[in-house]
């Protein structure tokens, strides 16, 4: 059976656009999300509903993959929650950003290793390498997700390439005011809303490049430089 790409958080926004692009490129895509997928989906997209915070749901996903497919081409950990600081929210984000990818990387490794080349991609955040005073828990859990790239890359080399993508702002929130949008866009050197395409381009690069593992691709429009300049 055709080796699919598994994408988590694939029911809306960037995750949905990424999954659709992969499907249109000819890949079978297992689209994992907590909510039901909006229809209609591309014929190559296979929806799977799961709350990845729950081990029982992750176990069900692993069983589904191993029952219906002979191997996996890639796993892309895109599922994410951007929550305010607080112990309950920290626990929620830890389960989704750290525990779920950790668990799935171990459980699905055998299926990835059945191919001559496979990939694991962690979608982190540009704050995972610099912190965020307004979303400390979010940045911390994304930093842990980024750090796991190093360990899994070493563990699974050379067959499975494990890399990270660190996006900044891609798509403004639906309820953004003009004032918020203008203020947010000015945090980057490239002051525009790029949409999902930069992340899709980065995923395609990592799926095709022969010589990258344990690396992080930053796509933030120069936001880190704008931040540095503001302190000069």
* pLDDT for position 177: 83
Q: 138 catalytic, yes or no?
A: yes
Rounded Cα gap, residues 121 and 203, in angstroms: 8
pLDDT surpassing 90 at residue 144: yes
Q: Which structural domain range is residue 154 located in? A: 5-229
CATH classification at residue 17: 3.40.50.720
Read off the pLDDT of residues 56-70 as tens digits, 9 standing for 90 and up: 999 999 999 999 999
**Measured at the alpha carbon of residue 214, what is the angle toward residues 153 and 123, in degrees to the nearest 5?**
100
With a cut of 60, say whether residue 195 has pLDDT above it: yes
Question: What is the total count of domains within the chain?
Answer: 1
DSSP per-residue codes, 41-68: PPTTEEEEE--TTSHHHHHHHHHHHHHH
Between CA 163 and CA 211 the distance in angstroms is 11
36 pLDDT band (50/70/90 cuts)?
Answer: confident
Given the residues 64, 102, 138, 211, select the one marked as catalytic: 138
Question: What local confidence, expressed as pLDDT, does residue 232 receive?
Answer: 41
């Amino acid at each position: 059976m055709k080796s699919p790409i598994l994408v988590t958080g694939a029911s809306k926004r960037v995750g949905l656009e990424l999954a659709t692009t992969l499907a249109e490129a000819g890949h079978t895509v297992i689209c994992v999300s907590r909510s039901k997928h909006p229809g209609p989906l591309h014929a190559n997209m296979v929806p799977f509903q799961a709350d990845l915070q729950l081990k029982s749901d992750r176990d069900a996903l692993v069983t589904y993959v191993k029952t219906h497919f002979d191997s996996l081409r890639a796993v892309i950990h895109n599922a994410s929650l951007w929550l305010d600081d607080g112990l309950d929210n920290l626990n929620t984000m830890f389960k989704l950003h750290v525990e779920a990818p950790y668990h799935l990387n171990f459980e699905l490794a055998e299926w990835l290793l059945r191919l001559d080349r496979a990939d694991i991609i962690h979608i982190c955040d540009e704050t995972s390498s610099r912190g965020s005073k307004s979303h400390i828990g979010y940045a911390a859990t994304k930093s842990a997700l980024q750090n796991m790239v190093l360990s899994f890359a070493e563990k699974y080399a050379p067959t499975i390439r494990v890399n990270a993508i660190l996006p900044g702002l891609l798509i403004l929130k639906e309820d953004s005011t003009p004032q918020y949008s203008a203020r947010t866009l000015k945090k980057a050197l490239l002051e525009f809303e790029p949409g999902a395409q930069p992340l899709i381009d980065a995923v395609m690069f990592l799926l095709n490049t022969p010589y990258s593992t344990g690396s992080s691709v930053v796509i933030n429009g120069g936001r880190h430089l704008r931040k540095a300049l503001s302190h000069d």
